[in-house]
Amino acid sequence: MKLSHYNAAGEASMVDVGGKPETRRTARAHAFVKMSAEVLAALPENPKGDPLAVAKVAGILAAKRTSDLIPMCHSLPLSHVEIETLVEPEGIRVYATAATDAKTGVEMEALVAASVAALTIYDMTKALDKRIEIQDLFLLEKTGGKSGDFRR
């Protein structure tokens, strides 16, 4: 299997997507923030503010900055980013969705958004418990592009 981020000399390089057509592309990623029932119960009284609301903003901002964080990612004109959080008995499930009409996919934008949203929840609740864990960061699905659709 040939990896696309290496040139003929075996050096890391950014893929040239100049000849590819622009198509509609979407991606959805997942992360889970495992925390105790005590931390979950304390969310409404968090002195730093609402961790879930701040995590949504952080995730959107992170998606927009993905190419600044991941060296070989292209800068993309995102048409949509959405962060969903679900409070469950064991913690908070985070879903990040990203969309664009571009020459390359938005999987990394969705993954970065999910991870930064999860990290923000951790940051805003760590004073209550240092044992909070971020788990299960993965791509759920993607659509568009040469490789077609993917669903986990």
Which residues participate in catalysis according to the annotation? 123
DSSP-assigned letter for residue 70: S
**Position 64: which residue type?**
K
